[in-house]
Amino acid sequence: MRKIRVTVFCEHNQDKYEPVKSVYPDGMHTAIAEAFEDSEFEVTIATQDMPLHGLSDEVLNNTDVLFWWSHIDNNLLDDGVANAVCKRVVQDGMGFVALHSATFSKPWQRLLGIEFEAGEWGRFRTMPKGEKERLWVIAPGHPICQGITDCIEIPKDEMYGEPMIIPDPDKLLFIAWWEGGDVCRSGVLYDRGRGKVFGFTPGHETFPIYYQEEIRKVLRNAARFMAPDPQMIIQSGEGHLSGDPRENLTHCM
Ligand code: ZN
């Protein structure tokens, strides 16, 4: 059976230093990639310090679903790479998953048609010791929620809360409840062209959230659901992408 080709992109900056280093000693990308150790997946790692941020055309063309964690270096991402990611989603159907502060990343914002800096998009609250979060499944029949019973309890995370300035999702999968009383649309799914994009808010860098099995299960479910069907991909110049008329238009010439 064909493997699902997952690429994990991480900016890999804060995890080189404390206090994040002791939580993710091998980098956040390693912990996220460990979610896909199952033989049904093939995983590539990309970090922002690699040439082309590790996201050459060759890598993108061999990616079914791209998982993206980024934070303080969002604005340093090359515009050409961000656009290549968006193009691969819209034209070829690659899935794109924005994790936590990747909500400020160029690809996610371009795919959603939004533009804002941290603090402009909604509420957030950074507590040094973290806040308890319950991630309630509100679409229990959806493939991305498969195997999650009622909710995922995350002992500590950074609060992201409403109102979030995002387009209404095509499908809302999770709502977070916070110890401090806030709520957040924390699992939002959209169709963009031939591709699917998913925003999943848990994952502040100082807490070991990407080791949590239920979180990894959601990531695996997302990879399975969002990988494009190879049959679906229409090559440019064929079908409706060509400008050839289906009817005789000589009278228009
Ligand atoms: Zn954070």
Per residue in 29-81, pLDDT tens? 999 999 999 889 999 999 999 999 999 999 999 999 999 999 999 999 999 99
Residue keyed to tokens 């190879």: 230
Ligand 1 centroid distance, CA of 207 (Å): 9
Determine the distance from the C-alpha atom of residue 250 to the mean position of all C-alpha atoms in its chain, rounded to a whole number: 47
Ligand 1 centroid distance, CA of 200 (Å): 12
Between vectors from CA 144 to CA 27 and to CA 172, what angle results, nearest 5°? 105
The predicted model gives 197-214 an average pLDDT of 98
User: Higher confidence at residue 229 or residue 80?
Assistant: 80
Q: Which pLDDT score, from 0 to 100, does residue 238 have?
A: 52
Burial letters for 118-144: b for 16+ Cβ neighbours within 10 Å, e otherwise? Answer: eeebbbbeeeeebbebebbbeeeebeb
Peptide bond before 155: cis, by omega within 30 degrees of 0? no
The predicted model gives 8-16 an average pLDDT of 96
Ligand 1 centroid distance, CA of 173 (Å): 21
Domain for residue 80, yes or no?
yes
Q: Which pLDDT score, from 0 to 100, does residue 43 have?
A: 98
Q: Which pLDDT score, from 0 to 100, does residue 115 have?
A: 86
User: Higher confidence at residue 122 or residue 18?
Assistant: 18
Ligand 1 centroid distance, CA of 70 (Å): 10
Peptide bond before 163: cis, by omega within 30 degrees of 0? yes
Domain for residue 225, yes or no?
yes
Domain for residue 38, yes or no?
yes
Ligand 1 centroid distance, CA of 147 (Å): 26
The tally of domains found in the chain comes to 1
Domain containing residue 101: 4-230
Ligand 1 centroid distance, CA of 115 (Å): 18
Ligand 1 centroid distance, CA of 232 (Å): 36
DSSP 60-82: HHT-SEEEEE--TTGGGS-HHHH
Ligand 1 centroid distance, CA of 138 (Å): 23
CB 152 within 8 A of CB 134: yes
What CATH number did the domain enclosing 17 receive?
3.40.50.880
3-state secondary structure of 165: coil
Domain for residue 245, yes or no?
no
Ligand 1 centroid distance, CA of 120 (Å): 15
Ligand 1 centroid distance, CA of 44 (Å): 24
Residue 235 — pLDDT band, cuts 50, 70, 90? low
Domain for residue 249, yes or no?
no
Which residues are placed with Cβ below 5 angstroms of ligand 1, an ion? 101, 158, 204
Q: Which pLDDT score, from 0 to 100, does residue 211 have?
A: 98
Residue 240 — pLDDT band, cuts 50, 70, 90? low
Its pTM stands at 0.94
- Starting at the edge strand found earlier in the chain, the sheet holding 41-47 runs 41-47, 4-10, 65-69, 95-99, 195-200, 183-192, 171-178, 131-137, 151-157
Domain for residue 43, yes or no?
yes
Domain for residue 224, yes or no?
yes
Closest CA to 48 of 11, 103, 81: 11
- Other C-beta atoms closer than 10 Å to the C-beta of 245 total 9
- Give the tens place of pLDDT for each residue, 156-203: 999 999 999 899 999 999 999 999 999 999 999 999 999 999 999 999
Average pLDDT, the chain: 93
The predicted model gives 213-225 an average pLDDT of 98
Domain for residue 246, yes or no?
no
Q: Which pLDDT score, from 0 to 100, does residue 249 have?
A: 92
Q: Which two tokens stand for residue 85?
A: 């990611």
- Give the tens place of pLDDT for each residue, 85-134: 999 999 999 999 999 999 999 999 999 999 877 677 788 899 899 999 99
